[in-house]
Amino acid sequence: MQLADLFPICYQVLKPAFPNCLWDGDRNSKVVALTFDDGPHPEYTPQLLAVLDYYNIPASFFWLGACVNRSPKIAKEVCDRGHWIGLHGYDHQNFPLLSATDLKHSLERTQAAIYNACHLHPDKVRDVRPPNGLFTPTTLSLFRQWSYRPVMWSVVPEDWVRPGVPTVVQRILQQVKNGSLIVLHDGACGGQDVAATTQVLIPRLLQQGYQFVTVETLWQQELRIY
């Protein structure tokens, strides 16, 4: 069994166990959210932006603070296009391995990097996706204490191991449903293929009648459901 085969099982088990995380949107709404982790990247993110621009698709980006500091102009280009921005930690360390002080510092450093690059106030950047999807109940408790919102996923095609664009697209199309929260990567691992993947994926999903929304829209749907 490939690791990619385990993610749908993990989703089914973890979603009911941790309902305060955002795992997907309204199953009665024909929408999907494209999200991208590990950027911004000086080469791969501009390539991705060109595809999103062509189709006029909104997306959500979960950034590493170190990458924002390395590519502030790219970060600003993403923000200027109105895409939703979230946090992925400063340098991709697994959150459960960090002390509470170090975790808070990692998130705040990333917010500061985003503010310096994009002038986006920290109060507007409160969504957090844990690196490698790893968290504990303590992690979530700290997020609540610090007023962050945990964002997870429902479709993970394991694009970071670069199985090939057709395989990544096929995995997504096999799993996608109303409200799906799809994870791709525009960073050092997987970003090489992200523009080509989205170039194929977006028209396929549009043909199926899906509308593309941001993570913020999925949160709003979640609030209406409950």
State pTM to two decimals. 0.96
Residue 61 pLDDT exceeds 50: yes
Residue 226 pLDDT exceeds 60: no
Reported as a single tens digit per residue, the pLDDT across 171-197 is 999 999 999 999 999 999 999 999 999
Cα 16 to chain centroid, rounded = 20
Residue 225 pLDDT exceeds 60: no
- What distance in Å separates the CA atoms of residue 199 and residue 193, rounded to the nearest whole number? 10
- Whether the CB-CB separation of 168 and 197 falls below 8 Å is answered with yes
Which tokens go with 36? Answer: 């991208």
- Fold type of domain 3-9+29-225: TIM Barrel (3.20.20)
The ranges assigned to domains in the chain are 3-9+29-225
Catalytic residue IDs: 37, 185
At residue 84, the pLDDT reads: 98
Spatial CB neighbours of 56, under 8 Å, sequence gap ≥ 6 = none
At residue 5, the pLDDT reads: 86
